[in-house]
Amino acid sequence: MADPSQPRAPFTPWDRRELPGSFDVDETARRVGHYKWIETKLFEALGGWVATVPELDVKLRLGTHCYHHAWHAELFHKRLPELREMKPERLTVAPNDELVAFVDALTEPEAADQTLEKLVGVFRVLLPHKIAAYTFHRNNTSRITDMPTIRILNFILQDETEDWIDGEMLVQSLIRTPEDVERAAARQIHLEKLMLAAGGIAGPGTVGDAYDLGEDT
């Protein structure tokens, strides 16, 4: 029988949450600021492409996705003051110059015959990296002190995953010849190298260092 004179445990017996997460408040705010930056950049890119891509079906889907990324940026913007960052713009920055270079390359294709390059950059490179980053953050932050961020990430991950599937179907619909396969592969390799240099959408350590085992393990 439990001793009624002893203090009660902070959580019920069926609640096995742990208080500490992998990120303190400053690290969470830093990451959320980077997330807001990349969502804003993607919103701007897709918004510009909506007006220029010739394929009507692609235009319509990008319009929907564009709204999603604008909403994601707004969610992250509202979260920053809750993390004691009263000037969200201060942290709404790229983690490094390498990610700026990635975004510049992502948005570089402008010609009407480069829809495939546009879509490969977004749906075969950027969205998979975003999904990995958001999933890592959600799974490694505190379910007690950072639950609002987890809730935001869950909403966003649902959009991102559905958009990723949507975009991959568009990419496959545009790949009709062996030359198209080579174009898509070359584009993906080029951008993946730039993302590797950036270390992910939040910089080095975006998805942790789980594979950096060291020499003494």
Per-residue pLDDT of the chain (217 residues; tens, 9 = 90+): 557 777 776 655 555 556 678 889 999 999 999 999 999 999 999 999 999 999 999 999 999 999 999 999 999 999 999 987 788 999 999 999 999 999 999 999 999 999 999 999 999 999 999 999 999 999 899 888 899 999 999 999 999 999 999 999 999 999 999 999 999 999 999 999 999 999 999 999 999 875 444 444 3
Which residues have C-beta within 8 Å of that of residue 206, sequence separation ≥ 6? 129, 132, 133, 136, 199, 200
Residue type, 102: F
pTM of the model: 0.88
User: Would you state the pLDDT for residue 21?
Assistant: 82
Closest CA to 88 of 134, 36, 123: 36
Contact 170, 57 (CB under 8 A): yes
Contact 71, 158 (CB under 8 A): no
- Phi first, then psi, for residue 18 (nearest 5°) are -110, 140
Torsion angle, alpha carbons of 58, 196, 41, 38, to 10:
110
Contact 143, 150 (CB under 8 A): yes
Q: What CATH topology corresponds to 25-198?
A: Ferritin (1.20.1260)
User: Would you state the pLDDT for residue 153?
Assistant: 98
Domain ranges, ordered by start, for the chain: 25-198
User: Would you state the pLDDT for residue 214?
Assistant: 44
User: Would you state the pLDDT for residue 210?
Assistant: 52
Residues listed for the chain = 217
Long-range contacts of 184-192 (CB under 8 A, 24+ apart): 184/116, 184/120, 184/124, 187/116, 187/117, 187/120, 187/121, 188/120, 188/121, 188/124, 188/125, 190/105, 191/102, 191/105, 191/106, 191/120, 191/121, 191/125, 191/126, 192/125
